[in-house]
Amino acid sequence: LVLRELTQPLFTESSSGIMEELDNFMHDPMHLARRECYYLYYEITGTGEIKQQIFCRGTTLLIDVLTCLSFWMVYDEDLECRVHLGFRNQADRILQDIEPLLAPASDSRTTVEVSGHSLGGAVGYILAAKLRKRGYRVTRVTSIASPRFCATQGSAERVESLLPRNNLRIENENDFVPFLPPFLYHTGNKLYLVENGTT
C-alpha cells in the first residue's frame, strides 16, 4: 500500500529542483506536513493470526534532506524523552496515516512488525515505540543503516524500554550514516558488519 507517490526525484541533472524545494520550504515551512510514503503488508495465517508489517523508506525526496537536517532535539510526550525533530515528525505523519488502517490494538490475534532503511530506520524505531505505547503488539523492529536520533543516553534507554526485545539495528563498517549526527545516540541491539577480506 503506497499512500503517496514519489514525484520528487532526489537526484536530478540540474540544481534548480533543489533550489526550488528550499525556496518552497523557506516560504511555507508547513510544506513538510505532507503525507508520507511507506508500505503496509497484511497476512492472515491459517490459524487466524493477523501479521501486519510496516516498511519505512530511506531518503528519496529532496525534502528528506531537510528532514535529516532538522536535528534539534524536542521532548516527545509519547516517548517521554528528547529525540530528533525531523525523524519524530516523520514518524508522527506515518502514525497518523497508518493507525486507521491497522487492526485494532485490542485484537489479540494481531501483531505488528516495523522495519526501515537509513532515515526510515530511525523513523521505524520511533514509530514502533509509539505504536507500543498505544497498545499495539509490536513483535519485531529492524533497521538498516539507521542514523542516530536520541538526545542522550537516557533518552536512548527510554526508547529501548518501549521496544520489543526482538529489535535489531544493522550497520556496515563502510557506511557513515549510522555515525550521524555525531552528538546523538543510538538505541537497540546492534549487528555490526565488517569486511574481512574474503569474498
pLDDT digits (tens, 9 = 90+) for 116-152: 999 999 999 999 999 999 999 999 999 999 999 999 9
Helices of type H across the chain: 16-27, 62-69, 85-98, 119-133, 153-162
Strands 73-76, 81-84: parallel, antiparallel or unpaired by DSSP? antiparallel
Helix (DSSP H) and strand (DSSP E) numbers for the chain: 5, 8
Let me know: does 158 contact 133? Beta carbons within 8 Å: no
Helix, strand, coil percentages (3-state) for the chain, rounded to 5, are: 35, 25, 40
15-32 per-residue burial string, b: 16 or more CB within 10 A, e: under 16: eeeeeebeeeeeeeeeeb
> What whole-number distance in Å separates Cα of residue 176 and Cα of residue 184?
14
What pLDDT score was predicted for residue 5?
Answer: 41
pLDDT bucket at 115, cuts 50 / 70 / 90: very high
Check whether 29 has a pLDDT greater than 70: no
Q: What is the pTM of this model?
A: 0.81
pLDDT bucket at 199, cuts 50 / 70 / 90: very low
Among all chains, which residue has been given the C-alpha cell 507500543? Answer: 132
